[in-house]
A and B are shown apart, each in its own frame.
Chain A
Amino acid sequence: MIEVRQLRREFRVASKKGRFRREYKTVVAVDDVSFDVAAGEAVGYVGPNGAGKSTTIKMLTGILVPTGGTVRVNGVDPARQRKELARRIGVVFGQRSQLWWDLPLRDSFALLRSIYRVNSSDHGKRLEECVDLLELAPFLDTPVRQLSLGQRMRGEVTAALLHAPELLVLDEPTIGLDLESKERLREFLAGLNRRGTTLLLTTHDLDDIERLCPRLMVIDHGTVLADGPLAELRAEVTPERVLVIDLREPLNLPPLPGVTEVRSEAGGLRHHLTFRRAETTAAALITEVVRHVEVHDLAVVEPEIDDVVRRLYARTSAATDSTPDVVDL
């Protein structure tokens, strides 16, 4: 579905030198990136801001032309066959709308039908399905500018799917959404992927990856640092997790199997238990804790995506790093 070889993109950045003179510096945004995505896969593409995610996405979708290397999406060269590609993929940008600001969703969808030349029975069927699954019906006739962010995103996703693309590219689809909207969107995308649509998404939200993407690609400073299943990568770079428990009354905890470090605060009301993934599971540990004390609240803290990326980066640039930071709530 996607075939990327030695992809490279440079930007020329001008800086002022004196009143009229300018100096140009070449900044490499994407450097020697190669990967494949097979049809039907769901891949998360993550990395800190400025890592080169969006630049890659823009080259895959034909917005930007690579400085070097080759890209094939659906057998098409995105840079040369932009319009051809546009008919065959769907793209959603979380932070910029592709809908018409002052038109109701219904009208936007009708326009997209003629733009993508979709015949009306196919279009109607797909629209009905999206309206159904994403519950668009209550606001189909509201102008886009009056929609909430969550409603708008559902509209954006629908708009990207009406021409039945085999590949859906999403750039930060859940950014700014509340938990319920995020969950609803993830559920929809997961279903879409099950029915055969290939997904490629960039995100800052680890839960997106967890729910949707069996495969994770991490990029930083323009190069791919890691590529593989999320669980594997996370276990590899952060072998320890933290369970945070709040008790009803201050108490000291007895020693628990698998726990390597206990940090208490609030006079013994809250405890941070660091445990090794390889030795126990969160479920086993919770069961154990509940047997001893009365628990008011608890949370398992996973390393943030940025943390994983940072560790991956540290791992490649220096020697191995095994002391985990204490994660605070």
Chain B
Amino acid sequence: MAEPVYRKIIAARVRSQMSYRASFAVECLSQVIAQAFELVVILVLFTRINALGGFGVDEVVLMFAIAAIAFGFADLVAGQLDDLPTFIRSGTFDAVLLRPLGTLPQMMSTDIRLRRVGRVFAGVVTLAYALTHVNIDWTPWKVLLVVVAPLAGGVILGSVWVVACSVCFWLIESRELANSVTYGSGAFTSYPITVFSKGLRYLMAYVVPGAFVAYYPSLALLGRSDPLGAPGWIGWISPLVALVAAAFAGAFWRFAVRHYRGTGS
């Protein structure tokens, strides 16, 4: 529900963060730099090799850029779920339960971290670069895909994080697990899945739909067939995968909250 309530909560969060202009600028910049370093790693790698998992440097940069924007969006919306263990331990989560709103939207909107915009911005710049350096046979559908894929990717990553963070309702100390999923998924989605081992590939392609964040949509954009034999349409269905992932994550979260309140155990 896109109620005005959340718009107001978010606007208030944004205002309070903008009141520290200097620190906002520094944090934003640090996000850009972090993203740039990851790009440098890829570029350095390509001074030694010509192809990674069957893809050239510009193609990998394309995947990297889409993944970066998706990661930035997910971080913006679901990043503050990192604080869930603190909320639970300090009892602040009880206050969340006392308001006449859903718990997940409240958790997501309590602390929008605006500096994550830096990552999205860096991703967009990288994407613009990549798009001018790869060969794409442009059609209106592909233009749409370029816009939608990072958003759908953000939803997919966000859903994965929601599920990972929900585990905190059982194990308060599972923050490390949640972190490894969030940052791990960030790293995974930035590369063509062909570079990973078979087991990990299946896990990421079909169990955790990480391959739908950047890899499959990039294949569709490039008009390349999957070296691993996935059908050609698979790159187009990432929005659908995103919807399914979000629905699953929402249900899992509700299940976890029910456990916390005491009926699930």
Contacts and interface: CB of A to CB of B under 8 A. Distances in A.
Interface of A: 9, 12, 58, 61-67, 79, 82-84, 86-87, 91, 93, 95-98, 100, 102-103, 107, 110-111, 114-117, 143
Contacts of B4: 114
B262 A83 contact: no
Contacts of B177: none
B5 to A, nearest CB: 5
A97 B94 CA distance: 10
24 contacts: A58-B94, A61-B98, A62-B97, A63-B94, A63-B98, A64-B261, A66-B262, A67-B262, A82-B97, A86-B98, A93-B91, A95-B91, A96-B90, A96-B91, A96-B92, A96-B95, A97-B92, A97-B95, A107-B15, A111-B12, A115-B5, A115-B100, A115-B101, A116-B100
Nearest to A169: B98
Contacts of B16: 100, 102-103, 143
Nearest to B101: A115
Interface in B215-265: 258, 261-263, 265
Contacts of B21: none
Q: Is the interface of B mostly helix, strand, loop or mixed?
A: helix
Contacts of B262: 9, 64-67
Contacts of A58: 94
Nearest to B17: A102
Interface residues of B, number: 22
Contacts of A82: 97
B97 A63 contact: yes
Contacts of B94: 58, 63, 93, 96
Contact of B98 (A9, A95, A98, A114): A98
A100 B9 CA distance: 10
Given A64-B262, A79-B261, A100-B12, 10 more contacts: A62-B97, A63-B94, A64-B261, A65-B261, A65-B262, A79-B263, A86-B100, A95-B91, A96-B90, A117-B5
A61 B96 CA distance: 12
Given A12-B265, A79-B263, A114-B4, A93 B95 contact: yes
Contacts, number: 64
Nearest to A61: B98
Contacts of A79: 261, 263
B101 A83 contact: yes
Contacts of A93: 91, 94-95
A111 B95 contact: no
Contacts of B133: none
Q: Which 10 pairs, one residue from A and one from B, show the smallest C-beta to C-beta distance?
A: A86-B100, A83-B100, A65-B262, A98-B95, A65-B263, A102-B16, A63-B97, A87-B100, A96-B91, A65-B261
A114 B5 contact: yes
Nearest to B95: A98
A75 B180 CA distance: 45
Contacts of B97: 62-63, 82
Nearest to B19: A102
Contacts of A97: 92, 95
Contacts of A96: 90-92, 94-95
A84 B12 CA distance: 25
Contact of A86 (B8, B12, B90, B99): B99
A98 B97 CA distance: 11
B12 A103 contact: yes
A84 B9 CA distance: 20
Contacts of A110: 8
Contact of B9 (A12, A61, A83, A111): A111
A143 B16 CA distance: 10
